[in-house]
Chains A and B, each alone.
Chain A
Amino acid sequence: MKHLSEEQLIAYQDGETAERDTAAAHINSCAECQAELNRLAEMLAAYQALPVPDPGEDYGRRVWQQIAPRLQEKRSHWWQVFLEPRRLTAAGLVAALLLVAFLAGRVSKPVDHGDAALTAKQVRQRVLLLAVGEHLGRSEMVLMEIANAEPEGASMKQVNLSSQWRRAEELLEENRLYRQTALQEGDTGIANVLDELERVLLDVAHSPGNVTPAQFKSIRQRIDDDGLLFKVRVLTKEIERRENIGKKGPAESGSAKVERNNQA
Chain B
Amino acid sequence: MNESVESVRAADAIAIERTLAGDRDAFRVLVERHSATIFRLAYRLTGNHHDAEEIVQEAFLRAYQKLEQFASQANFATWVYRIAANYTIDRMRQRKQEDARKQAPSAEMTEDVEQDPLGQIPDAAPTPERLTQSVELRRQMENALNSLTPAERIAFVMRHCDGCGIEEIAAALKSNSGAAKNTVFRAVHKLREMLEPQLAPRAMARAMGTES
Please report A residues at the B interface, Cβ cutoff 8 Å. Answer: 6-7, 10-11, 14, 35, 38-40, 42-53, 55, 59-61, 63-64, 66-68, 70-78, 80-82, 87-94, 96-97, 100-101, 126-128, 130-131, 133-135, 137-138, 141, 170, 173-174, 177-178, 180-181
Contacts and interface: CB of A to CB of B under 8 A. Distances in A.
Nearest to B20: A89
B64 to A, nearest CB: 5
B208 A46 contact: yes
Interface of B: 1, 3-4, 6-29, 31-36, 39-40, 43-44, 49, 53, 56-57, 60-61, 64, 67-68, 70-76, 120-121, 137-138, 141-142, 145, 156, 159-161, 184-185, 188-189, 191-192, 195, 199, 201-202, 204-205, 207-210
Given A78-B21, A89-B68, A97-B6, A67 B210 contact: no
Contacts of A100: 6
A35 B205 CA distance: 14
A134 to B, nearest CB: 4
Majority secondary structure, B binding face? helix
B75 A96 contact: yes
Contacts of A71: 24, 27, 61, 64
B21 A76 contact: yes
Contact of A96 (B49, B74, B192): B74
Contacts of A10: 185, 188-189
A56 to B, nearest CB: 9
A60 B31 contact: yes
Majority secondary structure, A binding face? helix
A174 B11 contact: yes
Contacts of A48: 160-161
Contact of B36 (A6, A60, A74): A60
A88 B60 CA distance: 21
B35 to A, nearest CB: 4
Given A130-B7, A177-B18, 18 more contacts: A43-B195, A47-B160, A47-B161, A52-B39, A53-B49, A53-B121, A55-B35, A63-B56, A71-B64, A77-B22, A78-B23, A87-B20, A90-B13, A90-B17, A128-B10, A134-B11, A177-B15, A181-B18
A173 B33 CA distance: 12
A75 B21 CA distance: 8
Interface centre among B8, B73, B191, B192 (most CB of A within 10 A): B192
B24 A45 contact: no
B14 A89 contact: no
B17 to A, nearest CB: 4
Contacts of A67: 31, 57, 60-61, 64
Nearest to B73: A92
A175 B9 CA distance: 16
B141 A47 contact: yes
B73 to A, nearest CB: 6
7 contacts: A43-B191, A46-B137, A52-B39, A75-B22, A78-B21, A81-B20, A97-B9
A263 B2 CA distance: 32
Contacts of B60: 63, 67
Nearest to B49: A53
A64 B28 contact: yes
Q: Which 4 A-B pairs have the closest CB atoms?
A: A60-B32, A130-B10, A134-B7, A96-B74
Contacts of B195: 43
A128 B9 CA distance: 11
B199 A39 contact: yes
Contacts of A92: 70-74
Contacts of A170: 32
B185 A138 contact: no
